[in-house]
Structure 1
Amino acid sequence: MLQLRPSHTLDGGDRGWLKARHHFIVSHNGNPANHSLGALIVWNDDEIAPGKGFGRHPHSDMEIITYVREGAVTHEDSVGNVGRTEAGDVQVMSAGTGITHAERNDGDEPLKLFQIWLRPRRPGGTPRWGTKRFPKRERAGRLVTLASGIVGDGEALSIGADARVLAATLLSGQVVEYRIHPSRNAYLAPSRGAVTVNGQRVATGDGIAAIAENNLTIEATEDAEFILVDAA
């Protein structure tokens, strides 16, 4: 089953410095149709104004993956990590037993990012953070795994969840296939352009959930880039 989540069905808000859309329900008065998918519980599409960001705040027992769409995010945390992740690249934070962190836009242009939260396989563990470059030429016309908690996923950033996060950059008309076990779930959102997923059109701002599907055929209807999460 495919469930299209058009942008107008997503919850969100505008705080001035932060414009947010929530692909998954995050409050009791949100859209109940946009429920979580197994370990995948949050997918926020955020735009953060220059010079603004999230101050120090805590997390525990959560795997948080940030894909930067435009601009760059600066990260600082309570275990001594400081870093900057630029457009097209990914950072991962395993909150483990507990961590506080801040994220901000130190640039002159709006920062746009996807932030994805996954429940870990098991609670606890040592908090950690990492970032990695993923040049677009490496995912041109094909899917590349950015972060994964599944054995055998090579050089992807490691996470503690039974999930993988993938990306592809496609020219108009290009097609990629992704096999998924029907016991697992998947969610896809374009970061640029538009694609069809098994014939259903998904444009920037939209998302689509795949439940009990065996195969996803993803075709770019215009030059596009998308993120795909496969989670138990």
Structure 2
Amino acid sequence: MIEHRPFHSLGVLRRDWLHARLHFRVGDIGRAEHAPLGPLHVWNDDEFAPHSGFGLHAHRDVEIVTWVRSGAITHEDDAGNRARLVADSVQVMSAGSTIFHAERNDEDKPARLFQIWLRPRTPGGTPRWATRACAREYREGRFVTLASGDPGDVRTGALPINADARVMVATLRAGASVKRTMSGTRTAYLVSDHGDIDVGSLRVGARDGVAIRREREISLTAHQDTDVVIVELL
């Protein structure tokens, strides 16, 4: 089953400096039918205004995967980690028992990112943080695993997460197609960042969401150049 969540149907969160679209209902924001998909319960399409962001705040018992789409974000936490994450970078933060962090756009132009939250396999534990880059040419025409709870993926370069999921990205040029055999629960969620794609026979617009359940294989065809981010549930 393939469920289409058009961009215009997503929940909206606005602050003076933040404009976000919510692929999953958070509190009373969004549609009731946009329910969590297994451990995947947040996928926010965020834009931070220049010289703005979240000050120091706490998280616990959540795995947060951040994919920077354009601009740059500066991360800082109480474990002493600090980094400037540019476009085509991924950050993984395992909040564990509790972590305090800040997330800011210190640049002169907006920053766009996907922020994905997953429920951990086990609560508590020591917080962890890591980041890596994934160049466009490396992922062109194929999916690259950015973060995963599968030890086999971690051995081949994915950042580890304490969740039953893998997060992947692919760059597709206009006219290119790619197929993905679904494993595990055969459940996934995907978003095309800036171009229309076909998911099977379904036409999907830029920044629309697609929830996939009980499918053995998915076939994607790009109508414009785009990046596709997908979370598969293990």
Give the TM-score normalised by the residue count of structure 2.
Answer: 0.96
Tell me how far apart the structure 2 counterparts of residues 126 and 57 of structure 1 sit (CA, whole Å): 17
% of aligned pairs identical? 51
2:19 corresponds to 1:19:
yes
- The alignment covers a number of residue pairs equal to 232
Aligned counterparts, 1:5-154, within 5 A: 5-28=5-28, 30-153=30-153, 154=156
Show the counterpart of 1:197: 199
Task: Check conservation: 2:17, 2:52, Cα contact below 8 A.
Answer: yes
Task: Check conservation: 2:184, 2:233, Cα contact below 8 A.
Answer: no
What is the one-letter code of the residue matched to 2:222? Answer: A
Offset, 1:180: 1.2
Tell me how far apart the structure 2 counterparts of residues 131 and 178 of structure 1 sit (CA, whole Å): 25
| CA RMSD in angstroms, aligned pairs only | 1.1
Give the TM-score normalised by the residue count of structure 1.
Answer: 0.97
Offset, 1:211: 1.0
Tell me how far apart the structure 2 counterparts of residues 84 and 201 of structure 1 sit (CA, whole Å): 36
Tell me how far apart the structure 1 counterparts of residues 207 and 135 of structure 2 sit (CA, whole Å): 23
Task: Check conservation: 1:182, 1:214, Cα contact below 8 A.
Answer: no
Tell me how far apart the structure 2 counterparts of residues 227 and 190 of structure 1 sit (CA, whole Å): 7
Name structure 1 gaps, 5 residues minimum.
none
Task: Write the deviation string for residues 56-98 of structure 1: whole angstroms up to 9, x where unpaired.
Answer: 1111111000000110110001111101111011000000011
Large movers: runs of 4+ above 6 Å: none
What is the one-letter code of the residue matched to 2:178? Answer: V
Task: Check conservation: 2:61, 2:124, Cα contact below 8 A.
Answer: yes
What is the one-letter code of the residue matched to 1:189? Answer: V
What is the one-letter code of the residue matched to 2:105? Answer: N
Tell me how far apart the structure 1 counterparts of residues 124 and 184 of structure 2 sit (CA, whole Å): 29
What is the one-letter code of the residue matched to 1:210? Answer: I
Tell me how far apart the structure 2 counterparts of residues 28 and 135 of structure 1 sit (CA, whole Å): 37
Tell me how far apart the structure 2 counterparts of residues 59 and 50 of structure 1 sit (CA, whole Å): 24
Task: Check conservation: 1:179, 1:214, Cα contact below 8 A.
Answer: yes
Name structure 2 gaps, 5 residues minimum.
none
Moved more, 108-117 or 179-188: 179-188
SS at match of 1:97: coil
2:231 corresponds to 1:229:
yes
